[in-house]
Amino acid sequence: MDALQRLIHARMAELRRSYSDVARLGGLPRSTVHHLATHARSVRLPNPTTLERLAAGLDLPLEAVRAAAAQAAGLVFDHQPVEDPETEVLVASLARLSPADRRHVAALVRSLLGPAEPAAAKTRQTRRRTSER
């Protein structure tokens, strides 16, 4: 059994979920979840959307599922831990948001970071606006 299969089986047992439960909660076909959990080791990683949906179905951070899938495919997944636990939670939680919600979060972050924009960039924007008039 490879790392991804161990993760799937352990989490399903922990949450008392079936393949169907994981599939439904993650928006995946049951056959995909069953295949990932039972078939012989693959040298290919599942596509990113499949990993995102599997993480949602297993109620795990995407990084944990990616790391297990990479290890199962014989790859080394280098994840540097972040010292700020709030940052770790924010990053792990983003994968659980819909694409539309992720865009909203990105816009919010840009708006929060906007005032800290370097003066040189503001000067370029001002020059560009002036030259367009």
- For the chain, give every domain's residue range: 3-72, 97-132
Residue 102 pLDDT class (50, 70, 90 cuts): confident
Q: What is the average pLDDT across 107-122?
A: 71
For 59-82, what is each residue's pLDDT tens digit?
Answer: 999 989 988 888 888 876 666 666
Q: Are 56 and 20 contacting, i.e. CB atoms less than 8 angstroms apart?
A: no
According to the model, what pLDDT value does residue 93 have?
Answer: 72
Residue 125 pLDDT class (50, 70, 90 cuts): low
Euclidean distance between CA atoms 55 and 109, whole angstroms = 24
| 95-126: b (≥16 Cβ within 10 Å) or e | beeeeeeeeeeeeeeeeeeeeeeeeeeeeeee
Residue 33 pLDDT class (50, 70, 90 cuts): very high
Q: Are 121 and 113 contacting, i.e. CB atoms less than 8 angstroms apart?
A: no
Residue 121 pLDDT class (50, 70, 90 cuts): low
**Does domain 3-72 bear CATH number 3.60.20.10?**
no
Q: The whole model's pTM is what?
A: 0.58
Tokens of 52: 């995102």
Amino acid at 89: V
According to the model, what pLDDT value does residue 75 have?
Answer: 77
Residue in the block written with tokens 């503001």: 122
